[in-house]
C-alpha cells in the first residue's frame, strides 16, 4: 500500500471533528496526516477543558493584584475607628474606681 493510500485510509477512520481539521490541509503522507491529527486532537482537548474550568480556577490563573493601601495625608492625628463589636466588648469591662478619700479628723 502506498504512503498516500495509507494517509487516506488513516484520515477516513478519524473522529469526525478531527477528520475535518486534518482533511482541510489534505496531507499527502501518512506521517503528515498523523502529525496533523495529533495537533487537532490536542487543540480540541484544550477547547473542551477550557469549557469546564470553574470560575475560581480561571481567577487563580489571572490573579488580581489589590490596589495599594490609601493613607489620609490631610490629617496629622491618627484616629482609629472603633467597630461596633469593640464598643459592645468595651461596655462590659469594669472601669476601676479610686477609693473614697477619707478626711483626717485629727486636724
Query: What is the pLDDT tens value at each position of the chain, 107 positions in all?
Result: 888 888 888 888 988 888 888 888 788 889 999 999 999 999 988 888 887 766 666 666 676 777 777 776 655 555 566 666 665 555 555 666 667 777 766 65
- Any domain includes 12: yes
- Any domain includes 95: no
- Any domain includes 46: yes
Q: How many domains does the chain have?
A: 1
Query: What's phi and psi for 28, nearest 5 deg?
Result: -95, -20
pTM (2 decimals)?
A: 0.46
Q: Give 11-16 contacts, CB < 8 A, sequence gap 24+.
A: 11/37
Residues of the domain holding 43 = 3-61
Cell of 85: 463589636
Alpha helix stretches (DSSP H) within the chain: 3-12, 16-23, 30-51, 55-61, 84-91
Amino acid at each position: 500500500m502506498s504512503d498516500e493510500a495509507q494517509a487516506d485510509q488513516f484520515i477516513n477512520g478519524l473522529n469526525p471533528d478531527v477528520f475535518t481539521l486534518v482533511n482541510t490541509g489534505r496531507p499527502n503522507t501518512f506521517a503528515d496526516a498523523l502529525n496533523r491529527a495529533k495537533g487537532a486532537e490536542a487543540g480540541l482537548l484544550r477547547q473542551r477543558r477550557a469549557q469546564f474550568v470553574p470560575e475560581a480556577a480561571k481567577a487563580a490563573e489571572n490573579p488580581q493584584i489589590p490596589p495599594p493601601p490609601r493613607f489620609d495625608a490631610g490629617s496629622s492625628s491618627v484616629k482609629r475607628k472603633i467597630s461596633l463589636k469593640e464598643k459592645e466588648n468595651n461596655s462590659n469591662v469594669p472601669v476601676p474606681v479610686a477609693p473614697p478619700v477619707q478626711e483626717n479628723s485629727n486636724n
